[in-house]
Every structure is written in C-alpha cells, then in structure tokens.
Homo-oligomer: A and B are copies of this chain.
Amino acid sequence: MAEDFIVTPWEVKGEIDYDKLVERFGTQLVSQEILDRLEKHASPLHHLIRRGIIYSHRDFNRILDDYEKGNGFFLYTGRGPSGDTHLGHILPWILTKWLQDNFKVKFYFQLTDDEKFMFDDGLTREDTKKYAYENMLDVIALGFDPKLTKIFLDTELIHTLYPIAIDVARRINFSKVRAVFGFDSSHNIGSIFYTSMQAVPCFLESVLEGRNIACLIPCGIDQDPHFRIARDVAPLLGYYKPALLHNKLLPSLAGGDKMSASLPHTSVFTTDQPDDVRKKIVNAFTGGRVSVEEQKKLGANPDICTVYHYYMYFFMPEDDELRDIYLKCKGGEILCGECKQILIEKINGFLKEHQQKREEAKDRIEDFILRD
C-alpha cells in the first residue's frame, strides 16, 4: 500500500491528516487549557490560533512557565530561499509578529541560502542569495520591531554560526539523519550536515547573551523533524530544548490532495500583480456545484473550498464575517464567482499595501540584518 501522505522539510505530498501527523511526529495538540493560559498574556488570541491553524506544539507550556517566572524567551523562524515568497510562507511569520507584539521578545529570522543551494542542483549560490534578499523584504514589510528583530543569511553570518553548528554536528550521526529525514547514501554530504545549521539559531541567543534563554519556534509542521534533532542535542550541549508552535500548511489553490505546493499558478506570491491574482483565484478549486441552479438549491461545500481556506487563514480575521460567508455558501446564497471576486479584492488590497511596505523595506535592510 502506498503511503497516504508524506510530510518532510523538503517534500509535502498527498492529503495531510494533521491528527495523524501529530502522532507520527510525536508532538502535542494545542489544548483548550493552553489557549486559556495564552489568552491571559495575549488577548484577543490571533485568528490563526482561534481557528486551530496553529494546532500542534512541543513544550509551549514550558515557554509560558518561563515567561511567567520572568526568565523570558526568544522567537526563531526562517525561510529556505529557493524562490519568491508566497502566502503559505508568511503564515508562521504573521504568528511570530503577533507573539513579538504581545510578549515584546527578541526574534531571529534565518535565511538558509546554504540549504537551498545544497538541496537543489538547479540553484546557484547567487540564486539563493538573491532570493534570500527578496524574501527578507517580505519579513521586514510585515512590521517587526527592528530593535528586537535580527535577520541573517547563513553564508553571511557563518563565522558566528559555524562553531555552534559543529558543536551540534558532533552529536548527530548518519543513522539519526537517515531515520529522521529518510536520507540514503546518495545524499550529498552538505545536505547531510545541514540540519546542524538549522539547529544553530535555537541556541544563538544563549551563546550571544552568555546565559541560557528558551527558544520558541513558530513554523510549519513540515519543519518539525529538524527541531526534533535539535531538541535531542540541546541538553547534551547544556541548552534548553527549543519549543515549537506548528501551523497547518496553507492549501494550494488546486485544492484536494495538492497541499501547499509552491507552483506559480496555485500559490499567491507577495510580488503578484492584480491580474496574476485574478487569474489564479478565478481558476481556484472550490466546493461549488456543477451548475448555478444546483448550487442555489443545494448549497456548496466551504470545507473543501480553497477560497474559503484563504479567508480562514488570511483574509477574514473577523470570526463573524467568516461564519457569515460560511453559512451563505452552505445555504446556496452566494455563488463561487461572486465569492472569488470578494477574495480577489481582499488579496489585491493586502498586496498593494504589502508591496508598498516591501519597497520601503529596501531602505531598511541594515536596521535588521546581522552579518559577520
């Protein structure tokens, strides 16, 4: 029997059963108790949290313990710069921004230009560096606090990162990366080494500050395997295990079993123009019926609709508005064409503002960047 779905840091395939993934990876579901506890410090809860898109964690309780005891923590997430940024990428960044706003904590953003070079023979080092600088603009455009936020490329901060990376690498053998990532003998030795580099920022603040500070990583659930390894190594090096908050992956506009693919026509990129967006959304998979008549009579299915998912993940942060369109869809009161038109306007409104901030970000890189 073929595997029902595959989720690794480099491959997402099939229709993801998120509950099963929690079991497979050995993470915890975000419980009501955690939500209640978080709400005491950060209210109202972000819609990504309220709606269960941030659905799994490791040791998030401990982060709240540390915070309540006054020990503090810091945030870390990142991006593999293999192309332009799409909405799926910025999802954990939006959560990170919300966490920074509410907890006023430091945030490290890693651009793994080395990773993408080593895992993709089609990319040059110049390509991944160029994409890193492009992706960085999207991070800055989201409004992070420059006093608390540091962004870096692996190859540009390597003097600082490499000593920590070899500390980590010495504690991980090939058996381990084979078991966790499914690597075999055909994998190149750069990609085998790489997970050490992704572990480094978990410990960076502790190294730079000279005291042990807990790390919280908001990221897509697909990145969890890297941090499972980092968590195993942490106590051997005298650091706290990094904690994680995992989000579900934004479905592709093709819907169904093609989850979170970065194909140009099924993802919305932050640099898309209004016409690009229009074309993509017009062609998006919905839960609509075969005819207008049937849809008016029987209603449509928002639960499988990518347009509805885009509302839920991004473009209808108000719960009332989201519930309203859900019920209208179910009741046949709105047709897919009309609904798509609403989404196109919302996306283009967001992108217009984001692209403006992205332009401004070009002059603000030096406020954020960390280099050797």
> Which A residues lie at the B interface, using CB under 8 A?
114, 117-118, 121, 125, 155-156, 158-159, 162-163, 165-167, 169-178, 183-193, 195-196, 372
CB nearest neighbor in B for A128: B166
Q: Which residues of B contact A172 (CB under 8 A)?
A: 188-190
Q: Which residues of B contact A121 (CB under 8 A)?
A: 170
- B169 near A158 with CB under 8 A, answer no
Q: Which residues of B contact A186 (CB under 8 A)?
A: 173-175
Docked CA distance A188–B166 (Å): 10
Shortest C-beta distance, A165 to chain B (Å), equals 8
Q: Name A189's contact: one of B163, B184, B192 (CB within 8 Å).
A: B192
Q: Name A173's contact: one of B159, B171, B185, B372 (CB within 8 Å).
A: B185
- B193 near A163 with CB under 8 A, answer no
Q: Which residues of B contact A163 (CB under 8 A)?
A: 125, 155
- B185 near A189 with CB under 8 A, answer no
Shortest C-beta distance, A122 to chain B (Å), equals 11
Q: Name A169's contact: one of B169, B173, B175, B189 (CB within 8 Å).
A: B189
Give the 4 A-B residue pairs with the shortest CB-CB distance, closest first: A169-B190, A193-B193, A175-B185, A174-B185
- B178 near A185 with CB under 8 A, answer yes
Docked CA distance A226–B107 (Å): 40
Instruction: State whether A177 and B162 are in contact (beta carbons under 8 Å apart), knowing that A118-B169, A118-B170, A167-B125 are contacts in the complex.
Output: no
Shortest C-beta distance, A7 to chain B (Å), equals 22
Q: Which residues of B contact A117 (CB under 8 A)?
A: 166, 170
Q: Name A193's contact: one of B169, B184, B372 (CB within 8 Å).
A: B169
Q: Name A372's contact: one of B159, B170, B196 (CB within 8 Å).
A: B159
Instruction: State whether A177 and B196 are in contact (beta carbons under 8 Å apart), knowing that A117-B166, A162-B155, A166-B114 are contacts in the complex.
Output: no
Would you list 7 pairs from A and B whose C-beta atoms are within 8 A, ordered by A residue? Answer: A114-B162, A121-B170, A159-B159, A170-B191, A173-B186, A174-B174, A189-B196
CB nearest neighbor in B for A117: B166
CB nearest neighbor in B for A154: B162
